[in-house]
C-alpha cells in the first residue's frame, strides 16, 4: 500500500475515533494498527513513481536537495496528515470524548448515594451526642428530628443503591455473584434493625410529649441502652464503605458457587432475626430485666 494511502487512512480512522462515538473499538483498533504500518511502509518504500533518481522515500526532502525542489503534492499533504493524526488520533482522547447516554442519571444516583450516607452519619452522631439521662424537652425534640433525618436518608440510600446496582453499575448479575456485596447488604440490614430500637423509643416519647405536654425523664439505663445501640449503628456504617470498595473491584467474586441464592438467604435470616430482637426490646422495654442482664 502506498504511504500516501496509509497516511490518509490513518487520518480518517483517527478522526472517526475522535468525532464518532459509534466508531468505538473498531476505529481505535484500526488507528493502532495503522500507526505500526505507516513507519514500516515509509522505511521500505522505494523510489517515487516515475523518478529513479531518488533512492529512498523522502517526502520532506531531508536527504536530497533536488527532492525538496520538486514540490510534490504528496509532501505537503503527508506532513499535514501526520500532524493532524498526531493531534487527534489518540485513543485515550477519543475515549474521553465518548459520553455514555446515562452518564448524568448515573452521576446523580451516585451523588444521592454518597450524600445519603453523610446525612445518616451526621444524624446518628447528633443522636449519640445528645442522648443522656433526664434530657430536656428541647433535647428530646432534637433527637426526634435527627431520627427523622436518619429515616429519610436511609430511604434515599436504598433507592439510589437499587438503581446503582441494577441500572448504572456493573449489573445485577455481577453483584448477585459477589459475596462481599451480600456482606454489605447484611451489614446494612443489621444497621436498619439496630435503628429500630431508638426510633421506636423516640416515637413513643415524642407522642407522649405531644399528648401530655411532658414526659418522665429518660432513665440512666435507657440512655445507656440507646447509646450502645447508636455506637453499634456507627460501627455497621463504617463497614459498609469498605465492603463497597472491595465488591466494586470484584474481590471474592465467584461464578460457580450459587452466591445469588446463598447471599440473599444469609441477608434475610440475619436481618429478620435482628429486626425481631430490637423491635421486641423496644416495645417491651423492661429496665429491671436490662439491669439484671447487664450485671450478668
- What sign does the CA torsion over 123, 124, 125, 127 have? positive
Q: Is the distance from CB of 57 to CB of 1 less than 8 angstroms?
A: no
Please tell me the chain's helix, strand, coil percentages from 3-state DSSP, rounded to the nearest 5. 75, 0, 25
- CA 183 – CA 67 distance, rounded (Å): 72
Task: State the pLDDT at residue 198.
Answer: 95
Question: How big is the CA angle at 13 (ends 89 and 5), to the nearest 5 degrees?
Answer: 110
pLDDT at 253 over 90: no
Mean pLDDT score of the chain = 75
pLDDT value of position 17:
42
**With bands split at pLDDT 50, 70 and 90, how would you rate the model's confidence at 292?**
low
Rounded distance, CA 105 to CA 163, Å?
Answer: 10
235 vs 32, more confident = 235
pLDDT at 113: 92
**pLDDT at position 271, please?**
95
CA distance 91 to 64: 35
* Residue 126: per-residue pLDDT: 96
Amino acid at each position: 500500500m502506498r504511504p500516501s494511502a496509509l497516511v490518509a487512512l490513518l487520518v480518517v480512522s483517527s478522526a472517526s475515533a475522535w468525532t464518532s462515538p459509534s466508531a468505538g473499538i473498531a476505529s481505535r483498533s484500526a488507528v493502532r494498527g495503522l500507526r505500526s504500518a505507516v513507519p514500516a511502509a515509509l522505511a521500505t518504500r522505494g523510489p517515487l513513481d516515475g523518478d529513479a533518481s531518488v533512492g529512498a522515500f523522502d517526502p520532506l526532502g531531508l536527504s536530497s536537495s533536488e527532492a525538496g525542489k520538486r514540490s510534490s503534492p504528496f509532501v505537503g499533504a503527508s506532513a499535514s496528515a501526520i500532524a493532524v493524526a498526531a493531534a487527534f488520533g489518540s485513543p485515550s482522547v477519543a475515549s474521553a470524548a465518548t459520553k455514555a447516554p446515562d452518564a448524568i442519571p448515573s452521576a446523580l444516583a451516585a451523588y444521592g448515594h454518597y450524600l445519603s450516607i453523610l446525612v445518616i452519619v451526621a444524624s446518628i452522631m447528633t443522636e449519640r451526642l445528645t442522648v443522656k439521662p433526664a434530657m430536656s424537652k428541647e433535647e428530646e425534640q432534637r433527637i426526634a428530628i435527627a431520627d427523622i433525618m436518619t429515616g429519610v436518608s436511609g430511604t434515599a440510600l436504598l433507592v439510589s443503591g437499587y438503581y446503582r446496582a441494577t441500572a448504572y453499575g456493573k449489573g445485577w448479575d455481577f453483584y448477585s455473584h459477589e459475596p462481599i456485596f451480600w456482606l454489605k447488604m447484611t451489614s446494612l440490614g443489621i444497621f436498619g434493625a439496630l435503628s429500630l430500637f431508638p426510633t421506636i423509643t423516640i416515637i413513643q416519647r415524642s407522642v407522649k410529649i405531644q399528648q401530655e405536654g411532658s414526659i418522665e425523664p429518660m432513665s440512666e439505663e435507657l440512655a445507656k441502652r440507646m447509646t450502645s445501640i447508636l455506637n453499634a449503628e456507627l460501627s455497621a456504617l463504617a463497614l459498609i464503605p469498605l465492603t463497597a470498595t472491595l465488591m466494586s473491584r470484584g474481590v471474592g467474586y465467584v461464578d460457580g458457587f450459587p452466591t445469588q441464592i446463598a447471599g440473599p438467604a444469609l441477608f434475610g435470616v440475619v436481618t429478620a432475626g435482628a429486626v425481631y430482637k430490637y423491635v421486641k426490646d423496644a416495645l417491651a422495654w423492661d429496665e429491671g430485666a436490662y439491669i439484671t442482664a447487664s450485671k450478668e
